[in-house]
Structure 1
């Protein structure tokens, strides 16, 4: 009985969460650029620039990249290769964006706001601009395409630095923690997104598609985007207000163009006409007894005789052809020769 009650309560909570709230909840707070967040942003930016400088100058970080590459983790632990081939999908931009957008779309519908979807769109736009520009600007080749042992492989037309999988995992899964409604949910989602992005970055190193320094720079790039999002909150709010205003105008235009139903006519009371205006009804003739004494239509007028006394008359329009030798009925026949 207790188990059934607990299951019923849990189901009630789930269905209560699925119900749409009557209006936008007031407890949703918009993150602001606080002093603590500004300090984290500054330290992360310094870490980003330090990694770029260490790779450009071919420091100890580049030598560590080559050592990890020669170690070949995919040959040391081949048993987890099949699993990590699927796990690395959590860092691909297309599948992760679709999954997170579906969840944030449900939240937008439930809370009567488009802020979650607009925040996701803004973060992905920043990710494409910043990470894409850094990739093309530095042009570093990956481990599989390295040409000179010990070199930093910079400026050779590659697009591997920073790691796009790692940065995308940080931004896509971290946006769930950024948009969390409570502090407890924000802590749990932050830890989950950090573990997921860390696993994705190490998976790319295991597969040999990225240097270790690519992963470090990808973590820093994704974290910079999440920390900078409060600066774009006013722009997101203006975009949301513009979308709602456009929705209201379209609804008003649809109401004006909708056909107006005709008003029902009031019932009209019928006035009784005057007796003088009523049409005269012709009086019926009295039925006399003479009418009943008329002979039937099918009887011929005059006295009736018996059938044997009647004169045979050939009916008009008879179908029998006339015969000259035919005598009328009752006449004496002459002796034949």
Structure 2
């Protein structure tokens, strides 16, 4: 097998494409022949030693991937050689093969492409857990999605629309706003034109007839958080999803009080670990929604696995719309 090996986590340039022994699955594991792997923001942080999970060196990055079971260890009963699966294991995806715990693998129904599957679990699980579970989103409510043209943002638009909500999508270019409308957003807000804080707030006010959004989905953080929270509706729910812009905001705690609003943390990974039955039910429903055409990952582009460093550079340019996916022949 071959894989991108991180032996010194000082950044992307230190990754090396190496030939490695193909491992044998132990009890409870499967060997997966990787067909596609998506590039996520944590995949950048982990090779810079900036992610909360710090795997022992050396390791193969690539948190999310899809492929075919090539071998199964003892005790694996729900998967067999030849089955197509998707997996989010945190590492191992940027190669031709990897070992994964069978319990972490999502069996793929017929017709579920490996490219879509490699871009599916993280963004849809995060967005469903946020909007449906944590925010208890109801049909007819208004959702403001920040960073709406990114992976989790595009998933949030689709899930909110499937739940019957009205969606305002905020993104940084006209091209990104057009994509958001194409996948279902009712209104868009270009924050390169409606800059934070004042123009941004005025635009939110205008788009909600002064009421404000019922739910705000924020994977961005930084300078957007406070003006967005100041715009939230009475009894609104502010979903803290992540901090893609870098800085973690300091929100004045009088704002939740004055708005009767809730700050709601979204940590899908721990939800999956602590509430595995609820997570499994969620994933089964998401797979059904995919089959029904209600949701489909937005793929910015696919690139050969050998071009991983160029893919990292493209992600760093902030030009990605949806997900970047690496593929093996």
Q: Which has the higher helix share?
A: 1
TM over 0.5: no
- Name which one, 1 or 2, has greater alpha-carbon Rg: 1
TM-score by length of 2: 0.22
Q: Which has the higher strand share?
A: 2
Larger RCO (alpha carbons 8 Å, 6+ apart): 1
